[in-house]
């Protein structure tokens, strides 16, 4: 019954914050890179944050060191909200992300101590290097989910896929509190998805997640992954985490490699993400949404199956690496083909509703 309350609470926060956002100009406006229609409130993430804070105030034991999580999440959401309104330099965002990574590592004691049995069944212990690897893991997760938020429903759908897999695995591993938190995360994201897709309340009540929300989701994902794979009751294989966030992770790495090859900053926004390629191939935004979310669920199911059938972690890692190589090379080939067709007028430049 408590989940029903939080579900309703998330809806209420969304409707209340929509009105406030328009008054304080916390909105997203169309520009050369964003082609959505109208002025859209950037409050999805703030509503999720407030609902999570309420839930953790009622049930602080859902996460270990929940007070540290609340502190880190609050700093991230505040930074994201300021960025949504004033467009903060990416270097400032990185500094804040590194700061909250350090708070998580040294305040909550969550870090990548081990990468699992990657040494032919023997555990690969990181030692002091684990702190540095953890910071990069946090930065990667935050920015992966931040970058993937490009078409309506996509970030919400990928969030459901990731936390659905995490809820299932943590339940099987006996980490019931962590599984309940993952279920809670799914519950509070659903109201956002409903409004973000413009149904059934119409496009006039549409909202976007904003950087505040995408960074919060990425941080929450890495927190739960670290607690599930490195915590005192951890049983999940660390390599399984890669499968659960496969689409956001592969999209981020692929796009950064392409940007660096072009001599651009890896953080420079563009329109070459997976969802953009789907749109350029002639898919509608809803078709692209369904395809990408289906791929995310498929990858998560593979990761869960590999874990449940006790496939050696090294094999799981090699399989994931193979999938990434296919993904990277496949997208590059598709991108070149679409560019060739577009230059010859075979394909029209797509309209992105975002």
In tens, the pLDDT along 237-253 reads: 999 999 999 999 999 99
pLDDT > 70: percent of the chain: 92
Does 215 have pLDDT greater than 60?
yes
| pLDDT value at residue 349 | 54
Q: Residue 354: what pLDDT?
A: 56
Cα–Cα distances in Å, from 129 out to 92, 113, 117, 125? 25, 8, 17, 9
Q: What is the pLDDT of residue 35?
A: 54
Residue 36 has pLDDT above 60, yes or no: no
Q: Are 296 and 246 spatial neighbours (Cβ–Cβ below 8 Å)?
A: yes
What confidence tier does 267 reach under pLDDT thresholds 50, 70, 90?
Answer: confident
Are 270 and 251 within 8 A, CB to CB?
no
Task: Identify the weakest region by mean pLDDT among 110-119, 290-299, 301-310.
Answer: 110-119
| pLDDT for position 241 | 96
Average pLDDT over residues 26-34: 71
- Phi first, then psi, for residue 31 (nearest 5°) are -150, -165
Q: What is the average pLDDT across 207-223? A: 97
Query: How much is the pTM?
Result: 0.93
pLDDT over 60 at 347, yes or no:
no
- Residue 120 is predicted with a pLDDT of 78
- Confidence class for position 345, pLDDT limits 50, 70, 90: low
**What pLDDT is recorded for position 55?**
97
Question: What's the DSSP call for residue 239?
Answer: T
SS3 125: strand
Structural domain boundaries of the chain? 2-29+38-248+278-343
User: What's the pLDDT score for residue 115?
Assistant: 92
Q: What is the mean pLDDT of the chain?
A: 90
Annotated binding residue 211: yes
Calculate ∠ Cα 102-106-109, nearest 5°.
Answer: 120
DSSP state of 347: S
Residue 273 has pLDDT above 80, yes or no: yes
237 has binding-site annotation: no
Residue 351 predicted with pLDDT over 60: no
pLDDT of 353 over the 80 cut: no
Residue-wise pLDDT for 146-202, tens only, equals 999 989 999 999 999 999 999 999 999 999 999 999 999 999 999 999 999 987 777
């Amino acid at each position: 019954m408590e989940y029903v309350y939080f579900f309703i609470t998330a809806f209420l926060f969304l409707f209340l914050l929509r009105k406030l956002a328009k008054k304080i100009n916390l909105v997203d406006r169309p520009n050369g890179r964003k082609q959505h229609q109208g002025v859209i409130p950037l409050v999805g993430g703030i509503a999720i944050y407030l609902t999570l804070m309420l839930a953790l105030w009622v049930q602080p034991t859902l996460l270990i060191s929940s007070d540290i999580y609340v502190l880190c999440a609050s700093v991230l959401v505040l930074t994201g909200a300021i960025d949504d309104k004033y467009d903060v330099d990416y270097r400032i965002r990185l500094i804040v992300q590194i700061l909250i990574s350090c708070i998580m590592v040294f305040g909550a004691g969550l870090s990548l101590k081990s990468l699992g049995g990657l040494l032919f069944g023997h555990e690969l212990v990181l030692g002091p290097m684990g702190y540095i690897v953890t910071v990069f893991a946090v930065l990667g997760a935050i920015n992966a989910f931040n970058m993937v938020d490009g078409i309506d429903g996509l970030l919400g759908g990928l969030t459901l896929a990731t936390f659905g897999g995490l809820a299932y695995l943590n339940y099987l591993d006996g980490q019931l509190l962590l599984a309940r938190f993952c279920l809670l995360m799914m519950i509070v994201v659903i109201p956002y998805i409903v409004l973000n897709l413009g149904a059934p309340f119409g496009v006039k009540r549409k909202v976007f997640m904003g950087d505040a929300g995408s960074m919060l989701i990425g941080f929450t994902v890495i927190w739960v992954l670290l607690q599930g794979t490195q915590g005192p009751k951890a049983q999940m294989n660390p390599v399984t985490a890669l499968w659960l966030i496969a689409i956001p992770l592969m999209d981020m790495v692929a796009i950064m490699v392409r940007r660096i090859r072009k001599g651009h900053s890896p953080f420079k926004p563009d329109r070459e993400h997976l969802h953009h390629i789907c749109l350029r191939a002639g898919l509608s935004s809803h078709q692209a949404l369904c395809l990408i979310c289906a791929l995310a669920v498929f990858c998560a199911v593979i990761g869960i199956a590999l874990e449940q059938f006790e496939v050696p972690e090294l094999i799981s890692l090699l399989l994931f690496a193979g999938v990434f190589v296919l993904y990277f090379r496949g997208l590059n080939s598709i991108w070149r083909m679409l560019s060739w067709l577009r230059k010859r007028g075979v394909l029209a430049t797509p309209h992105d509703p975002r």
